[in-house]
Structure 1
């Protein structure tokens, strides 16, 4: 028979009585709190006034959620086309980083590191291993010329042919020693950058014609490079005129614009050309930083335009615009992280080439493979998201790629013009 006896149980986490001194009141309405939020006014119980490092960690967590979701998102994002996107569309979102948050974090990292990689290339002028190779090549050539010089007869009476050969060898030895001194200049100086660049171009011509004379075309180019190099060595500034015009007099005008508008346009292009000449013919570092700094803002405008392009091309897919935008966010996140990984591998390739060429070659091949993976991945992504046949997907993929390449080119031009005007 049932009894009315009371059964004593151990208190659980849910039933345990919270001591009165540990019960907190809501800072807003002063009602007792029984959870993470106030049951009366809804304010969060956790105070936002914390130590600075705690706030930073919370901010990073808000941006990227540094938990298991990151590992569950990044790996499939790179290796499994459309998997994360289709999971998101199917409603299984809690296990993955949201598309916008993912894009923001990856794009921030990408553009910061892009500034580093491009800046490193600009500061080094050209690959340091290439520079060492070129210096070694010049030294070797000087040794060959010196050895040839020593084999000449030492007797005072030389024929005219021998005298001409001695003069040529002395001139070449002096010239290549000057080239060597130029290559060893400090590249941090804007003037030295120009000298090293011109010297490298001269050496390329010299080594291409070690056994034969210059062609008339190459001789003209050699003379121009030599004259420009001498001008820089003497403290001059070498500049190439930048013309932005569609008329014979160098002005820019369009028939659909009024005379006043064309005048304003020409004033702008003249200012742009003047600043462009200064930027391109001196230290290009500040210009590169300006251009890269503009790209994140322009890309944020380009993303929704790309989603519109997807909407038009797949108009019968019955996908909402936000779904196309999700495809755009995931596509760009994949591209950024893949290009970033490829850049890192190429850096390792350059670093390990002198000491471990086989390992360096592996990294180089892997970096190239990652870049090749980008178009394949994007094609498979469109195929799996929009679920069309290979032929129609290929046709639309080609059209989208062509149009978007033009959009990227326009974006790059805008970033360049914007960067020049801000330098």
Structure 2
């Protein structure tokens, strides 16, 4: 925690209680000097979130390698050893999506190709056209003694050409550079008035969902929005809404745990703690998988890339196994019963999360401008 200079005065500035040592015995505030250097504003924020006295790194180590240990320890009442569940989840969520916002996991651009921006940044070439890319590949292959830098450049250009061609084929197949056709229909209707009239005559159970989606479709159609722009904005909006969707899903995940377990022994609070730790683990692993994938794109060695992809596969499997191990440890289930209960919970949450993603897609579509 903080290493600020202790005040000579022994009165607590927060509650006025006498402070014999470093912390006030009444309110717990540290009796240090209030005047600090400017960088303290930022270092104190990090310290308060992570507790760099070992609490944070101990929490991360147990979260990754000891499934269910953090939840078990917290429910036993030993709550000063590790970062509290809510703070841990918020911090990991913030770091994960902050890095994703800086280094997007995808780039949809049908005008210049999905990879041209990245290729410009690496300064391997300045033109993303297929002819220039092929010329660059041929020139690199013709080198009698190819250096390591040339090998890396060849790999990047080859990957760029594949990505650019794939994006170009997709754009050409679906006419992504064109606006929505005038005769394009939504649920059999080409205009908003015709759709609304039909709904008045023959209302449906799911009109509360279909109607706003239909109105948004006709609105984009009237504006002449291009298909590629719609898809790009939809993907970006969905990605920005994902943290909110995950946060909304937390109490639902805990609710399913509550349904499947003894109500007298396990309170909803207990399931909430398990949920926060499990989702913090998932976010941390998503970040690790993303970083490993980015690392594979920067390394030219096929053997090293094979090891990285092997590690990625192992992490995927571990993500699934982790839930069963953590569930067994926390809820003290054993044998075949533990497997059946864990499988039921896993499948219920899997389909519930798919339903949530569907709702996220609808909301993201409605938010397109």
TM-score normalised according to structure 1 size: 0.62
CA distance in 2, matches of 1:90, 1:325: 15
Aligned to 2:3: none
Larger Rg: 1
Q: Deviations for 1:227-252, whole angstroms, at most 9, x for unmatched residues?
A: x66x95xxx44669886549999959
Residue-pair matches, total: 322
User: Separation in 1 of the partners of 2:184 and 2:37?
Assistant: 54
Match of 1:328 among 268, 275, 290: 275
Q: CA deviation at 1:386?
A: 1.1
Partner of 2:349: 404
Task: Give the alignment of 1:166-315 within 5 angstroms.
Answer: 197-199=167-169, 225=173, 232=177, 236-237=178-179, 245=187, 259=203, 267-274=211-218, 278=225, 280-282=227-229, 284-315=231-262
Q: How much does 1:266 deviate?
A: 5.5
1-structure distance, mates of 2:66, 2:208: 51
Partner-residue secondary structure (3-state), 1:315: coil
User: Which of 284, 297, 312 is the aligned partner of 1:337?
Assistant: 284
How many angstroms apart in 1 are the aligned matches of 2:283 and 2:81? 22
Query: CA contact under 8 A between 1:345 and 1:367: conserved in structure 2?
Result: yes
- TM-score with structure 2 setting the length: 0.69
1:346 corresponds in structure 2 to 293
1:80 offset after TM fit, Å? 1.6
Q: Structure 2, unaligned stretches of length 5 or more?
A: 1-6, 120-124, 139-159
1:93 to partner: Cα distance: 2.5
* Residue aligning to 1:105: 91
RMSD, aligned CA = 4.6
Residues in 2 aligned to 1:76 and 1:335: alpha-carbon distance in whole angstroms:
14
Structure 2 residue aligned with 1:64: 50
Deviation at residue 337 of structure 1 after TM alignment: 0.8
Report the alpha carbon displacement of residue 121 of structure 1 after superposing the two structures with TM.
Answer: 3.7
Match of 1:87 among 73, 78, 84: 73
Q: State how far apart, in whole Å, the 2-side matches of 1:100 and 1:312 are.
A: 22
Q: Is contact 1:99-1:326 (8 Å) kept? A: yes
Indicate yes or no: 2:309 matched with 1:364.
Answer: yes
Q: Aligned pair in 2 of structure 1 residues 276, 114: CA closer, same or farther (>3 Å)?
A: farther
